[in-house]
Amino acid sequence: MEDSAIIDLYFARSESAISETQTKYGRMLMSVSMRILRNTEDADEAVNDTYMKTWNSIPPTRPNIFSAFLTKIVRNVSLDRLDSANAAKRGAGEIPAVLDELEECIADSRIPVPGEGMELKEILNAFLEKEKPEARKIFVRRYFFGSDIKEIAEIYGIGESKVKMSLSRSRERLKACLEEEGVTV
């Protein structure tokens, strides 16, 4: 079923919208959640929460790219679940490592500052547009999807050292970009 038809089902408040979403995107959502949570039960709950949040968001929202809309929701739900599960300690898996890597570039994003959220998003999008395609893909795969270095190397058919170097250089450029924009501490 086409995305627009699925979205129309949400607008019609048809419960089949959720089953159609699950049929088309369930595996992708589970994959994103598993990379973050590393636990099948928690990931399954996060995916179910994603369906509920999608149901509550559409309408009024009409996403332009449904897959990106769902991915953003499942990612945020999974990160929230990880935070609550590991409040005392940062947990296992790649997410703590990813956050540690980005810590040198980005100020604490857990403290919302009114008006700055959209600005940071625009700065990051502009930064990524300037990156070479390979560096951009590696950066997004690591810092949005939470993939580990070995997995990224396998996906793109390159060595792990090249992935690490690309990420290091991208972080340096991101830090400079954020400092230029006055976003870092």
CATH at residue 147: 1.10.10.10
Domain boundary among 31, 64, 85: 85
Domain boundary among 35, 64, 85: 85
Residue type, 171: R
Contacts with 59 (C-beta within 8 Å, 6 or more apart), sequence order: 10, 11
Cα separation, 34 vs 149, whole angstroms: 16
Domain boundary among 85, 118, 145: 85
Contacts with 80 (C-beta within 8 Å, 6 or more apart), sequence order: none
- The verdict on 66 and 98 lying in the same domain is no
Token duo for residue 90: 């940062």
Integer distance in angstroms from the first to the last C-alpha of the chain?
Answer: 47
Q: Which domain holds residue 26?
A: 3-85
pLDDT tens, the chain, 185 aa long: 999 999 999 999 999 999 999 999 999 999 999 998 888 999 999 999 999 999 999 989 999 999 999 999 999 999 888 877 665 444 455 666 776 777 767 654 443 444 445 577 788 888 999 999 999 999 988 888 888 899 999 999 999 999 999 999 999 999 888 888 777 54
What confidence score (pLDDT) does residue 111 get? 39
